Structures are given as structure tokens and as C-alpha cells.
């Protein structure tokens, strides 16, 4: 029996790790492949524990570095200002100059390139499994080096993504005008030389990353051709969850030929639960100690603080508002909270307990199929609610105004706090209105998701095809290999 071939799985962040687990388990079960998770950076402690429990191989490419990012416990904390020496001030100023930043970025990416090359030399993979091909760093370095060797790469995005949301994220940064905007002549010059690295949102042109970063990445061939699109790099194929996802990426400039509709592997388990939702609901409600006959509201607690979209004090204020509204629904309606992998359970648990709310330890794909109403921010989890015909309220109190769900008749977007309670009551108490929303989700489901429980198998078949294609290309002389790659990967 041949030795299983290595498949390198680069999740990029802990949330993506959870999404990749279904595929990795199926790869191991097939016996044909040996998946290896590549953890690059910090935040993967829980992921490593899961790997050890399930016997999954993983590799840490560099030691996690301490983050300067604010943590939930820092909200409102007062720090005594420290006096800085003249030498410290001069060093800080020098670090901000373009030439120094360029040199630092060049050496940083040189080390990344070296790590990527070592991974390929040591593990000799048959394919790469990614969530994108545009994240400058190990992801784009692996894709470029793999392409040179004829090693295929498959992108399986798990989050909603478009250029507008990426721009909104940058516009929320405190110093965005100098970092990403056109305030500095360097930024303007780079956009003139490479218009594809810029994007205009609400009249403001933004650069994907600061000038030093994109220029150094371009030198090392780690800069994606179209960084504002999730699949805008040099990966071979992208497997999306639905016709909506495919149309969305094509609208952003991706080639139709690069995209295939496979469904979302994480939803395979959800599809089975949905088919047996009565029994599944009774089982989980018994575990939580709540009545399964009462209506069940599931809330994917927004992560505006975790994603740096709000300061932590404002994030907690928004969270407390939602919790207080949910508390008022008790005991006539059951409410269960679902936390994002980035969220710290210890920070949320006392607040939920104060309002008498349950935080589920089960993942969202187990909760949404048994619910009656789903509440979330703009989240990819909403697509599962569409697939399962569950009415949704999307809370957008800060007017991010993404247009993901504007045309879905089973989703209500609430942008004013004072309308949130009345909207909830309307859905929960007006059965005719509730059924209208259910019907709206059912009509949208065919366009938004493949919910047949076979997505994982389609992904395995696709990986098999790519591995075979890669083996054929690697038989060619090195100079001919690149010509046989997809046009966007050459």
C-alpha cells in the first residue's frame, strides 16, 4: 500500500482551523492522504490541543509573539505614561521612515520565504489546502514556491468576503489616512504604479497594505495580483459554497474557470442535524435544562471588539444591550448564545450568567439547524440559517451597511436599537409573518448553499483530481511546468 501523501493545511487563523477540521478528518479517513496543519503565529493553543486529541499532525513554523493589541480586560484601564528618552524617540522616528520600513519588510519576507521553502523541502506535499491566496506572508510564499514545483493549491474560503468589507475595516483604523489612504505621496505613487493594489470606497482610495509591505512582497513574488479579492492570488482552484459565492467573486474580478461550487464541508453535519432536528433539539435542550417546546433563539454574539471594529468599552456596551433584550424574552422564549472562536469564554460567561442566558459549548453548525430564530451581525454563519430556512435578524447598529443580505426575504437587517425589540416580538408572536420569513429563506436557499451533506466528498474528489494533475505536471522538465499551470498561477 503506498504511503499517504502529505497535504499541507494552512488555516491562517483559529476560526479557519475549525472550518478545516471536517476536511482534515475526511482526508485522514480516506487513507490516501496525510494532512498536516501549519500553524504560523499565535492563537493556536486550543487548535494544537484538538490536534493532539484527534491524532492530527501539526507543525509550528515560528514561535508566537506577544501582541500589543488591546485585550478585553484592558478596557477602561488607566496606564501611567512612561517617560521616553531622546534616544528612544529618535529610534521610534527612524523606524517610521519609509526606507527603514522597506528594509525591515524585505528581511521579514526573506525569513518567510525561507520558512516556506523549508516546509516544502521537508514535507514534500502533494497539495496545499488554504482559506485564501492573498494574505501576504507564509500563505502567498507557499503558493508561489508550490507553483514553481507544480504542487497544486486548493482554496476553501469560509467567511463572507468582498472588497467593500475589507475597505471598511481599514477605514476604521485610527491612522488610516497615512497608513492606507492617499495622504502620503508614497501611497499615491504606489497606486499609480499598481492600480490593482488600490480600491476606492466612498470616494477614498485605499492601498491594500502600507507601501513598504507591498513593495517588499512584490520583490519576493509574494504579492497577489488582485489582493482585494479573497481568491485574487495564484492559487489553482477555489471551491465555494454556493452560486451566490461564485457570482460574488466573479463580480469582484475573479475568473469563472478558477471557481467551482462544492458546498461548505462544515455544513454536512448541520444537514444531518437538520433532517433530525426534533430529536437533536430535545437532546440539547435537555442538556441545557430548558423546555424544547418553547421557541429557541440562537445568537452568534457579535465580535466587534475582537475584530478591532469597536473599542472594547463600546463592544461591551453593545453586548450588554443585546443580553438585556434577550433576558426580557425569558422564560417564554429560550435563548442560547454562541461565541466566536476568537471570543474569550471567561469574559462573556459572567455577563451571560447575570442575564440568565446560556452559552452553548456546541458549535454554531449544531445550534442553528435546531433554532427558530437566529440573531447575528454580518457573519458567514447566516448562510447556514438560510440553508436551514431559519429567519434571521442581522444587527448593524453601527451602520457598516454591507449589502450581503439585502435581497434575502428571510433576513431583517436592524440598524436602530429602538427597533430591535419590536422586530424580535413581531417575529416571535406573529406566526403569519414568521412563516413569510421561513418561505423567504427557503426560496433563497438554493442560491446561497448546497445543503445535501455531500460537500466534504466533493472536496475530496477535487483534491484527488488536483493531486493527479500535479503529479503529471511534475513529470515535466522544470522549465515547462509553469506553462501547464492555470493562467492565474503562472
Could you read off the pLDDT of 170-220 as tens digits, one per residue?
A: 988 888 999 999 999 999 999 999 999 999 988 999 999 999 999 999 999
pLDDT at 229 over 60: yes
Residue 113: pLDDT band (50, 70, 90) is very high
Question: What pLDDT is stored for residue 148 in this prediction?
Answer: 95
Instruction: State how far the Cα of 226 lies from the Cα of 208, in Å rounded to an integer.
Output: 10
Half-sphere exposure of residue 439: CA atoms within 13 angstroms, side-chain side = 6
pLDDT of 78 above 70: no
243 Cβ neighbours under 8 A, 6+ residues apart: 261, 446, 447, 448
> What is the structure's pLDDT at 74?
37
Task: Give all strands of the β-sheet with 33-40 in edge-to-edge order.
Answer: 57-62, 33-40, 5-10, 127-130, 153-155, 237-240, 259-261
Residue 77 is predicted with a pLDDT of: 38
pLDDT in tens, 267-317: 999 999 999 999 999 999 999 999 999 999 999 999 988 888 888 999 999
Angle at 231 between CA 398 and CA 406, to 5 degrees: 35
Indicate left, alpha or beta for 460 from its phi (over 0: left) and psi (-120 to 50: alpha).
alpha
| Euclidean distance between CA atoms 75 and 379, whole angstroms | 25
In 3D space, the residue among 154, 155, 139 whose CA is nearest the CA of residue 217 turns out to be 139
Grid coordinates belonging to 81: 505614561
What lies within 8 Å, CB to CB, of 250 at 6+ separation is: 256, 259
365: pLDDT strictly greater than 70: yes
pLDDT of 68 reads 39
C-alpha cell at 398: 453601527
| Percent of residues, the chain, with pLDDT higher than 70 | 93
Q: Does the structure show a pLDDT above 90 at 93?
A: no
Q: Which three cell numbers stand for residue 350?
A: 459572567
Residue 152 has pLDDT above 50, yes or no: yes
Indicate if the pLDDT at residue 94 is higher than 60: no
Reduced 3-state DSSP string for the chain: CCCCEEEEEECCCHHHHHHHHHHHHHHHHHCCEEEEEEEECCCCHHHHHHHHHHCCEEEEEECCCCCCCCCHHHCCCCCCCCCCCHHHHHHHHHHCCHHHHHHHHHHHHHHHHHHHHHHHHHHCCCEEEECCCCCCCHHHHHHHHHHHHCCCEEECCCCCCCHHHHHHHHHCCCCHHHHCCCCCHHHHHHHHHCHHHEEEECCEEEECCCHHHHHHHHHCCCCCCCCCCCCCCCCCEEEECCHHHHHHHHHCCCCHHHEEECCCCHHHHHHHHHHCHHHHHHHHHHHHCCCCCCEEEEEECCCCCCCCCCCHHHHHHHHHHHHHHHHHHCCCEEEEEECCCCCCHHHHHHHHHHCCCEECCCCHHHHHHHCCEEEECCCCCHHHHHHCCCCEEEECCCCCCCCCCCCCCCEEEECCHHHHHHHHHHHHHCHHHHHHHHHHHHHHHHHHCCCCCCHHHHHHHHHHHHHHHHHHHHCCCHHHHHHHCCHHHC
How many whole angstroms separate alpha carbon 266 and alpha carbon 363?
Answer: 10
| Nearest alpha carbon to residue 206 among 237, 179, 245 | 179
- Which whole number is the average pLDDT over 114-134? 96
Given a cut of 50, whether residue 18 has pLDDT beyond it is yes
User: In whole angstroms, what is the distance from residue 410 CA to residue 393 CA?
Assistant: 9
pLDDT of residue 300: 96
User: What is the per-residue burial (b if ≥16 Cβ within 10 Å, else e) of 325-335?
Assistant: bbeebeeebbb
Q: How far apart are the first and last CA of the chain?
A: 34
237-240 and 259-261 strand pairing: parallel
Cell of residue 192, nine digits: 499609480
Burial of 150 (0-12, 13-18, 19+ CB in 10 A): buried
Q: What is the mean pLDDT of residues 390-409?
A: 91
Q: Do you find a cis peptide bond into 34, omega within 30 degrees of 0?
A: no
Residue 70 has a pLDDT of 39
DSSP lists the bridge partners of residue 36 as 8, 57
State the cell numbers at 378: 454580518
CA distances from 273 to 40, 292, 361 (A): 34, 15, 16
Say how far apart CA 306 and CA 66 lie, in whole Å: 16
- The residues near 35 (Cβ < 8 Å, ≥ 6 apart) are 6, 7, 9, 23, 24, 27, 28, 56, 57, 129
Which residues lie below 8 Å from residue 214, measured CB to CB, with a gap of 6+? Answer: 136, 190, 194, 197, 207, 208, 223
63 has a pLDDT exceeding 70:
no
Domains of the chain are 5-80+113-176+225-264+453-489 (3.40.50.2000), 273-448 (3.40.50.2000)
For 56, the grid coordinates are 492530527
The whole-chain average pLDDT of the chain stands at 91
Amino acid at each position: 500500500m503506498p504511503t499517504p501523501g502529505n497535504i499541507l493545511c494552512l488555516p491562517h487563523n483559529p476560526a479557519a482551523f475549525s472550518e478545516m477540521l471536517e476536511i482534515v478528518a475526511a482526508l485522514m479517513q480516506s487513507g490516501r492522504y496525510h494532512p498536516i496543519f501549519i500553524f504560523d503565529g499565535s492563537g493556536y493553543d486550543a487548535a494544537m490541543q484538538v490536534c493532539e486529541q484527534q491524532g492530527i499532525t501539526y507543525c509550528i513554523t515560528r514561535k508566537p509573539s506577544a501582541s500589543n493589541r488591546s485585550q478585553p480586560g484592558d478596557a477602561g484601564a488607566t496606564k501611567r505614561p512612561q517617560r521616553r528618552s531622546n534616544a528612544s524617540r529618535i529610534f521610534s522616528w527612524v523606524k517610521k521612515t519609509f526606507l527603514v520600513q522597506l528594509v525591515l519588510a524585505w528581511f521579514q519576507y526573506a525569513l518567510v520565504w525561507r520558512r516556506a521553502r523549508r516546509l516544502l523541502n521537508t514535507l514534500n506535499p502533494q497539495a496545499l489546502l488554504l482559506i485564501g491566496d492573498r494574505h501576504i506572508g507564509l500563505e502567498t510564499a507557499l503558493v508561489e514556491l508550490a507553483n514553481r514545483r507544480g504542487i497544486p493549491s486548493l482554496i476553501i474560503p469560509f467567511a463572507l468576503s468582498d472588497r467593500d468589507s475589507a475597505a471598511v475595516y481599514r477605514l476604521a483604523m485610527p491612522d488610516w489616512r497615512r497608513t492606507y489612504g492617499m495622504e502620503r505621496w508614497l501611497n499615491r505613487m504606489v497606486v499609480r504604479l499598481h492600480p490593482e493594489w488600490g480600491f476606492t470606497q466612498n470616494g477614498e482610495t485605499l492601498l491594500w497594505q502600507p507601501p513598504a509591505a507591498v513593495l517588499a512582497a512584490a520583490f519576493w513574488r509574494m504579492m497577489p495580483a488582485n489582493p482585494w479579492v479573497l481568491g485574487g492570488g495564484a492559487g489553482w482552484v477555489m471551491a465555494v459554497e454556493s452560486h451566490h459565492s461564485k457570482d460574488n467573486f466573479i463580480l469582484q474580478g475573479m475568473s469563472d474557470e478558477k471557481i467551482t461550487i462544492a458546498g461548505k464541508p462544515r455544513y454536512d453535519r448541520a444537514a444531518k442535524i437538520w433532517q433530525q432536528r426534533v430529536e437533536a433539539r430535545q437532546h440539547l435542550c435537555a442538556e441545557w435544562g430548558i423546555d424544547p417546546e418553547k421557541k429557541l433563539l440562537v445568537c452568534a454574539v457579535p465580535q466587534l471588539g475582537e475584530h478591532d471594529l469597536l473599542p472594547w468599552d463600546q463592544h461591551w456596551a453593545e453586548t450588554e444591550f443585546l443580553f438585556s433584550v434577550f433576558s426580557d424574552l425569558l422564560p417564554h422564549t429560550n435563548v442560547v448564545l454562541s461565541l466566536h472562536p476568537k471570543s474569550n469564554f471567561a469574559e462573556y460567561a459572567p455577563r451571560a450568567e447575570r442575564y440568565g442566558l446560556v452559552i452553548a459549548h456546541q458549535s454554531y453548525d449544531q445550534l442553528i439547524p435546531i433554532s427558530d430564530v437566529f440573531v447575528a451581525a454580518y457573519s458567514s454563519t447566516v448562510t447556514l440559517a438560510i440553508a436551514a430556512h431559519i429567519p434571521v435578524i442581522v444587527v448593524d447598529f453601527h451602520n457598516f451597511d454591507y449589502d450581503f443580505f439585502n435581497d434575502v426575504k428571510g433576513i431583517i437587517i436592524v440598524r436602530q436599537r429602538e427597533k430591535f425589540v419590536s422586530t424580535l416580538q413581531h417575529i416571535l408572536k406573529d406566526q403569519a409573518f414568521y412563516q413569510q420569513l421561513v418561505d423567504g429563506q427557503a426560496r433563497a436557499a438554493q442560491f446561497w448553499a448546497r445543503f445535501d451533506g455531500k460537500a466534504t466528498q466533493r472536496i475530496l474528489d477535487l483534491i484527488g483530481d488536483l493531486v493527479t494533475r500535479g503529479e503529471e505536471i511534475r513529470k515535466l522538465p522544470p522549465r515547462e511546468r509553469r506553462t501547464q499551470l492555470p493562467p492565474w498561477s503562472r
